[in-house]
A and B are shown apart, each in its own frame.
Chain A
Amino acid sequence: MKAFEKRVRIISNRDLKHGRFILSFRDKQIAGAASPGQFLMVKASSGLFPLLRRPFSIHNCSGKNGRIDVLYEVKGPGSRLLSQYPPGRVLEVVGPLGNGFSLPEKGRGVILVAGGMGAAPLFFLASRLAAERSKRRVYALLGACGKNRLCRPAEFSAAGCSVKLSTDDGSCGSAGYVSGLLDSFLNSPGIIPSAYVIYACGPRPMLQATAFVAGKFGVQGYCSLEAHMACGIGACMGCVIPVRSEEGREAYKRVCQDGPVFPLQEPDWGKM
Chain B
Amino acid sequence: MATTAIDHAPAHTHEHTGLWSWITTVDHKRIGILYGATAFFFFLVGGLEALVIRLQLMGPNKTLVSPDTYNQLFTMHGTTMIFLGVMPLSAMFFNYLIPLQLGARDVAFPRLNAFSYWVFLLGGILINVSWFTGHAPNGGWFGYANLTTKQFSPGPNIDFWTVGLQVLGVASLAAAVNFFVTTVNLRAPGMKMMHMPMFVWMSFITQILLLLSFPIITVALILLMIDRTFGTSFFVPTGGGDPILWQHLFWLFGHPEVYILILPSFGIISEILPVFSRKPLFGYAAMVFSGAFIAFVGFGVWAHHMFATGMGPFADAFFSLATMIIAIPTGVKIFNWIGTIWGGKVDFKTPMLFAIGFIAMFIMGGLSGVMHASPPADLQQTDTYFIVAHFHYVLFGGAIFAISGGAYFWWPKMFGKMLDEGLGKLHFWLMLIAFNLTFFPMHILGLNGMPRRVYTYSAESNFELLNKLETIGALLLGFSFLVFLYNIIKTWRTPQPPVGADPWNAATLEWSIPSPPQHFNYPTLPQVHGRDALWELKARHGGPLPEPQRVAEDAVLMPNPSWKPLVAAIGVTVTLGGFIGGSHLWVHVAGVAILLYGIYAWAFEPAFPEHH
Q: Do A and B bind each other?
A: no
Interface residue ranges, A against B (CB under 8 Å): none
